[in-house]
Structure formats: C-alpha cells, structure tokens
A and B are shown apart, each in its own frame.
Chain A
Amino acid sequence: MKSKSLLFIATCAMALNLNATTNITWWHAMGGRLGEVVNEMATKFNNSQNEYKVTPVYKGGYEDTMTAGIAAYRAHQAPDIIQIFDAGAATIIAAKGVVYPVADLFDKYGVKFNAQDYISGVRNFYADTKGRMIGSPFNSSTPVMYYNKDAFKKAGIKNPPATWEEFEKDAVLLKKQGYIGLAQSLSTWTSAENFMSRHNLQMADKNNGFDGFATKLYYENPAMDYHWDKLRDWTVKGYFKYFGRGWADNQQAFYDQKVAMWLGSSGSFGGLRKGAKFNFGTTYLPYWKKFINPGAQTFIGGAALFVFSGKNDAKYKGIAKFLQYLTTPKMQYFWHKNTGYVPITKAAYALAKKDGYYKTTPDAEIGIKQLSLPTQKWTKGYRLGNYVQIREVMTIEFENILYGKKSAKQALGDVDKKADKLLAKFARTYR
C-alpha cells in the first residue's frame, strides 16, 4: 500500500516535470516605471510561447546588480541573464569563462544575427575586437541636451546652442532673465567620456582598451582642459551650476526652472515629459567649434544583457530565443516608446519612423540621430577595467575644478595619474 502511494507520487512528480517549462532568471537594475516595462516585456515573451518562462528580478541600481551578480557567481548561484552597465562591462568581459558571448550563443542555437542590423553607436560598445558581440545591448541611451523653451523665448533666443561657443552667448542672455544657463548629471559620462567621443579624441591607449588592457588615460588634453576651465569660469559667472553628484539633484534644478539647460540622458525624456511644467526641447550635445566641426558621434550609455556560462542546453536555447525576442522591431519600439531609451536596431528605428512617432514627438529622435552619425576613429566607446573606481576619481577631481581648488590641467592630470594606477592593477589582476 505504502509503496503504491509512493509510486503514485513519483509518477505525478514526473508528469509535472514533463510539463514544466524551463525557467530563466533575469537580474536587472531597472527600477520604478522602467521595471514595470521590463516585467511587461517578460510577460509578453512568456505568453508568446509555453516552453520557457522568464522571471525578471529587480536587484537595485547598476552597481548593486553587478555586485549581486558577482556574489552569486562566486557562490555558484548565478542567474541566467544579468544586466551590466557600461562602466562595469570590462570587468565581466575580462573575466575568462564567466559569460557566454551572445554572438556564440546565437550561432549555436540557430538565431539569425547580424551586427550590422544594430545602429552604429550601439554596435561596438559590447563587442570584441572582431566586432562579435559579447553582451546584448539592452537599454541604450546617450547624453543629449534638454532646454527650457519658455526660458529661451523670454531671453529672446531662437535656437538652442549647437556649440559651446553659442552657449556662452546664450548664457549671458538667460542670466539676465534670472536663469542659470546649465546643469549636468553624471559629469563623467556627459562631459568627459562623451565629450571625448563628440570631439573624436582618444580616451586611452590600446584602442581605448578594446585591443587589450589599457594602461594610460588621456583625459588631460587641450580640449578637456579648455572645457573644464570654462565650466569653472561659468560657475563663477553664474552660467553653470553643479548640484552635486546625484543624478536627480541636477535634473531637479531643470524641473524647478532654476537652470535653462540640462545635460542628461536621452532616456530621461519620458520622465521629463511627465514632470516638467513648461515646454522643453531636446537637442544634440554641444561641441567646441574651435576643436572640431561638425561634432562627432557619441556612444551609448546604459547597459547590456550578459549570459552566464555553465548552464544547460535547454536554458541556453530559451535565452537565445528570449534575447532575439527582445531585439525584434516590435519589442524595441515598445521599449523605446515607453522608456525613452533608443531603439537599438535599424529595423526598430525604421518602424518607429513609419509609425509616425517622431512626427508627434520629435524630441525622442535626437538621441538616436546623434548615435547614428558616422562612426569615427574614437567614437566607439571604451573598454576599461576598474572603471567604476576611475569614475569615482574623476568625480572627485571634477569637483576640485568646479570649486576652484585645482586648475583643469592639474586636476585632469591627477585623474590620469590615479586612473593609470587602477588600470595597471586591473591588467595585473588578469595576468
């Protein structure tokens, strides 16, 4: 009797197992509204088939998610997919055998994939030297400039500044109306990394770190020195204000109409549209005409999805399908529309255009247009280790410039010096 019931239980368990779908866990860093959209996308995928079930898990900010992933990997409890941000990409890519490159995954599981389908600013950032993608770009954004149209009208300015030279003139007029000209969030990203790209300047040796472990940073250069001395000068004159390193604090100043222009992410667009009580517009990141004309392309920020190694075939098949699903034009357009992140493939961009999205909301197109400018030598991004700490060093030194403790040349020189040590340490770790 007893053995019979045991048998029954065992059979049931087997039956359940046969019907069970393969579970795929996805750790991500998308909070608030973004997290809701992520969940919607996973639900759409789960409903579209019945073999796989993707479960998104919110793990906090970018750093928290990466830390959680590292801890989980070390404890042999790694999730299947993890979202890793731009500054952390080198860390996970350099760790041999930790990730299953998506290009290989797609090849093996029969997913058609062509890197050329991706828009140019997105294509290279998470790829190896041969252009094969290691991570699948997910939420991609690029720094753009938002401006308060009402403020511009009051000051009698017709067009937003395309160059920093024009900005200097506009800031004077805006100050007369009681506005501070500019604020910027995440200075390391908006006014260093992408400043270098916009001016087509080399950021580090070894091809910005793509060809091997870079050991030298080139932030101390005439254009950067000039720009950061200007930012200090503008701070004194009241054309620019730094509201601390918090992303939101600087954005808040724009909301509060204290500043007339704000350098933020193209992904901030959706939130701004909801929160701003004035007319605002979006325009390209300005450049210095005296150093380059016209300005070059910027590269993506945001994050990519990486697949951990050591999982079984069934899972990988599902992951490949899911990643493919995420990059379909329909899903990309959905993501683009709901979040403000740029669509990462040309087909998705074409779909958004065809749908007339940019006719009604032209601001949403600026980011992708800026990313689609022709690729130049130093506009592909960077692959630098210990970069989270390097950004920390940069932020501290930038504050030293803005508060007048150091000249730009001195502070940026110190950035390079300290960063070189961190880079050397990173290279040594992987020796």
Chain B
Amino acid sequence: MKKVQFNNKFIPYLFVSPQIIIILVFFIWPSIMAVYYSFVMQDAFGVSTQFVWFQNYKDALMNSDYYSSFGFTLVFSTFVTLFSLSMGLFLAHKTNGMIKSRGIYRTLLMWPYALAPAVVGLMASFFFNQSHGDIYHFLNQLGWKFDPTSDPFSAQAMLVFIASWKQISVNFIFFLSGLQGIPKSVLEASLIDCKSDTKRFWTIIFPLLAPTTFFLFITNITYSFFDTFGIIDTTTRGTPMGQTKTLAYKIYQDGFLGADIGGSSAQSVILMLFVLIITIFQFKYLEKKVHY
C-alpha cells in the first residue's frame, strides 16, 4: 500500500487559508480596530483624533446607565435562555413520542427558524401595538395593565416573550435530533426497568442529552446577547426609560446614532471580554459535568 502524503509544506496552509482569511477580515481585524478606537476620542467624521488612554473605559464604567443596561442584559438573557431551552426541549420530547404525525409537527415547529429577528420584531410590534394589537388587548382583558410603551416591566416581559419564541425552533431542532440520537436499546432497557415516563426522562434521556443542552446553552446566551438586536430595534428601541437596552443595543445607539465611536468601542471591548470570560467559565466548569 502506498501512503498518499503531501510533500509540500505549504499545501495544508493553502487549504485552510480561505477560513483564515475570513476570520482575519471579518473577526480579527474589526476586533483590533475596536480596541484601537476604544483608546481614542474622535469626532464623527474622523477629522480630529486624540489618544486618551482609558478615558473611554472610565466614562463607560462611571455611567449609571451602563450598569442598568448590564443588569437588564443579564436578566434578559437568563430568562430567554431558560424559556426557549425548556420549551424547545418540551416540544421536542412530545414530538419525538409521536409516531404518525411527527413529520408534520417537526416541519411546522421548524418554521420560525427561517425568520430573521428583525422580521419577528416587526410582526410582534403589530401584535403588541396599543391601538390595534391583539395580544395587547388580550393581556389587558386578563387584567394585567400591560403597556410596553410606558411600563418597563411590560416591555421587558414582551421582549423576553418575543426573543424566546424566535429561539424555540432552533432549540427544538437540536433537541429533536439529540433525542433521536439516543440508542433504541437504552430506551427499551429503561422501559423495562421503570414505568414512570417523567422519571425515565430525567434519569435517562436528559443526562444523555447533556452535550446538546450544553451546546444550546452557550448558543442561546450568545443569541440573547447579540442576535436580539433586531427584535429590540423593531419593537422597544430601548424604551421606556431606557430599561430595555441590552449592552449590544446600547453600543449601537452610542456609536451609530450618537456618533461616539470611542465610547461605544470601549463598551464593545468590555462586552467582548465579558463574553470571553463566561465562555471560558462555561467550558471549564460546566463541561466537566457533561458526558459525551
């Protein structure tokens, strides 16, 4: 048998180069620029630039609005992750138990996946509109003084609802394929040992889904941190009283609407570090508990 091997040292590099170039151009380069801009003060049009060391970071961290935005982001991402993961799992489990209609349910539940966040936000803004929104009127008839334009809690709850709804289908697909990946023999064995459906789910199925859950947990957190931008921009735009601004949305507002490039770059560098830390933390501590 002849071993096929490349003698040229450069060919492997050539093969990985498209990926490397994409990462360099779209991820590394912008990150470096963000770090650079976070140390300067520059006017909107870029005609005067001064190096100011950590002034932008100081301004961001001394601002009380920054902390309220930080707090909202944490609460928001916790609830979105919790709701969308549990609903996704619930639906996947129920669908997986079906025999005849599984295909139909699967297709229908996958649909929202195809929607862009901005589209979801726009649709939701009709449903929650105070003069002709069905959900708005429904919630008010239930006796909840629901008013996302004036009551921060209503607005936050609305965003959690919309953002979770959008993410459920993604979680559903992954959970469903995860469930289908569990060997039949294991399930059948457990069926003999235990009659309770709930108990079987929590002791056998759920632990076996751990890798999927872990993966989804991380992607859901990143989703609620960053991808919910479109939803917020098409619904509350940070209102009322600035209580529905995620960190990513605040960076956009300061940088693009307010033309404060230095300040918003400093905030994005802080956010970058924060996400880096929680990701490392997750991999280090949570992954130990995951058995592949």
> 1/0 contact trace for B240-266 toward A, CB 8 Å?
111000000000011011111001000
Q: Is the CB of B258 within 8 A of A244?
A: no
Which residues of A from 229 to 263 have beta carbons under 8 Å from B?
242-246, 249, 252-253, 256
Complex-state Cα separation, A350 to B42, whole angstroms:
45
The answer for the CA separation of A400 and B50 in the assembled complex, in Å, is: 36
Alpha-carbon distance A249/B150, docked complex (angstroms): 12
Which of A400-431 touch B at CB < 8 Å? 400, 402-403, 405, 421, 425, 428-431
Q: How far is the CA of A405 from the CA of B44 in the complex (A)?
A: 34
Q: Mark B186-206, 1 if CB is under 8 A from A, else 0.
A: 000000000000000000000
* B residues less than 8 Å from A67 (CB atoms): 256-257, 259
Question: In whole angstroms, what is the CA distance A82 to B288 when docked?
Answer: 57
Is the Cβ of B131 less than 8 Å from the Cβ of A252?
A: yes
Report whether B45 and A70 are in contact in the complex, using a CB–CB cutoff of 8 Å.
Answer: yes
Q: How far apart are B130's CB and chain A's nearest CB, in angstroms?
A: 7
Chain A 92-117 residues near chain B, CB threshold 8 A? 92, 94-98
The interface-forming segment of A155-163, A295-303, A386-394 is: A386-394
Smallest beta-carbon distance B177→chain A, Å = 40
Query: Known contacts being A74-B46, A425-B59, is A396 close to B242, with CB within 8 Å?
Result: yes
Question: In the assembled complex, how far is the CB of residue A107 from the closest CB belonging to chain B, in whole angstroms?
Answer: 23
Contacts A245-B239, A396-B241, A396-B242 given; indicate if A429 touches B256 (C-beta within 8 A): no
Please give me the residue from chain B that is nearest to A402 by CB atom. B150
Least CB distance from A311 to B in Å reads 16
Interface flag for A73 (CB, 8 Å): yes
Please indicate the chain A residues that have their CB under 8 angstroms from the CB of B259 in the complex. 66-67, 70, 91, 386, 388
Taking CB atoms, residues of chain A closer than 8 Å to B150 are: 242, 244, 399, 402-403
| Cβ contact within 8 Å between B48 and A96 | yes
Residues of A within 8 A of B47 (CB): 95-98
26 contacts between A and B (CB under 8 A): A63-B257, A66-B259, A70-B45, A91-B43, A92-B45, A95-B43, A98-B47, A244-B130, A244-B239, A245-B149, A246-B149, A249-B131, A256-B131, A386-B258, A386-B259, A386-B260, A392-B257, A392-B258, A396-B242, A399-B241, A402-B150, A403-B150, A405-B241, A425-B41, A429-B50, A430-B48
| Shortest Cβ distance from B243 into A: residue | A396
The one of A242, A392, A428 that contacts B41, using a Cβ cutoff of 8 Å: A428
Closest partner residue, chain A, to B148 (CB atom): A244
Chain A CB within 10 Å, residue with most, of B48, B59, B257: B257
CB distance from A221 to the nearest CB of B (A): 23
A211 to chain B, nearest CB (A): 19
Cβ contacts under 8 Å, A252 to chain B: 131
Q: How far is the CA of A349 from the CA of B211 in the complex (A)?
A: 73
Binary per-residue interface labels of chain B (135-156) against chain A in the complex, 1 for a CB within 8 Å, 0 otherwise: 0000000000000011100000
Chain B residue contacts of A388, Cβ below 8 A? 257-259
What distance in Å separates the Cβ of A187 from its nearest Cβ neighbour in chain B?
A: 12
In whole angstroms, what is the CA distance A402 to B151 when docked? 11
Residues of chain B at interface, number, CB under 8 A:
28
B192-239 residues with Cβ-Cβ distance < 8 A to A are 237, 239
- Which residues of A are found within 8 Å of B46, using beta-carbon distances? 73-74
Contacting pair B45 A73 (CB below 8 A): yes
Q: Do the beta carbons of A425 and B260 come within 8 Å of each other? A: yes
Name A residues whose Cβ lies closer than 8 Å to a Cβ of B. 63, 66-67, 70, 73-74, 91-92, 94-98, 242-246, 249, 252-253, 256, 386, 388-389, 392, 395-396, 399-400, 402-403, 405, 421, 425, 428-431
- Bound state CA distance, A50 and B275, in angstroms? 58
Q: Is the interface of A mostly helix, strand, loop or mixed?
A: helix
Identify the closest chain B residue to A396 (Cβ).
B242
Report the bound CA distance from A206 to B167 in whole Å: 51
With A249-B130, A399-B241 in contact, do A389 and B260 touch (Cβ < 8 Å)?
Answer: yes
Given the known inter-chain contacts A244-B239, A252-B131, A256-B131, please indicate yes or no for A430 contacting B254, CB distance below 8 A.
Answer: no
Task: List the A side residues contacting B254 at CB < 8 Å.
Answer: 389
Cα-based distance from A91 to B258 in the complex (angstroms): 10
The CA of A400 and the CA of B241, in the complex, are separated in Å by 7
Given A95-B43, A244-B239, A389-B257: 16 more A-B contacts, CB < 8 Å: A91-B44, A91-B45, A242-B150, A245-B239, A245-B240, A249-B149, A256-B131, A392-B258, A396-B242, A399-B241, A403-B151, A425-B59, A425-B263, A428-B50, A429-B43, A430-B43
**Pairwise interchain contact A429-B239, C-beta atoms closer than 8 A:** no
Q: Which residues of A contact B256 (CB under 8 A)?
A: 63, 67
User: Across the two chains, which residue of chain A brings its CB closest to B46?
Assistant: A74
Q: Which residue of A lies closest to B237 (CB)?
A: A245
Q: Which residues of B contact A66 (CB under 8 A)?
A: 259
The 8 closest A-B pairs by CB, nearest first: A244-B149, A95-B45, A389-B258, A396-B242, A399-B241, A98-B45, A429-B43, A63-B257
B42 touches A429 (CB 8 A): yes
B191 CB to nearest A CB, Å: 55
Residues of A within 8 A of B45 (CB): 70, 73-74, 91-92, 95, 98
Is the beta-carbon distance between A431 and B59 smaller than 8 angstroms?
A: no
The CA of A430 and the CA of B47, in the complex, are separated in Å by 9
For window 123-140 of B, CB contacts with A under 8 Å fall at 130-131
Residue numbers in B under 8 Å from A91 (CB-CB): 43-45, 259
Cα distance, A92 to B130, chains bound together (Å): 37
Asked if B253 and A392 sit within 8 Å, CB to CB, the answer is yes
With A92-B45, A389-B258, A400-B241 already in contact, the answer to whether A243 and B59 are too (CB < 8 A) is no
B44 touches A95 (CB 8 A): yes
Is the beta-carbon distance between A244 and B240 smaller than 8 angstroms? yes
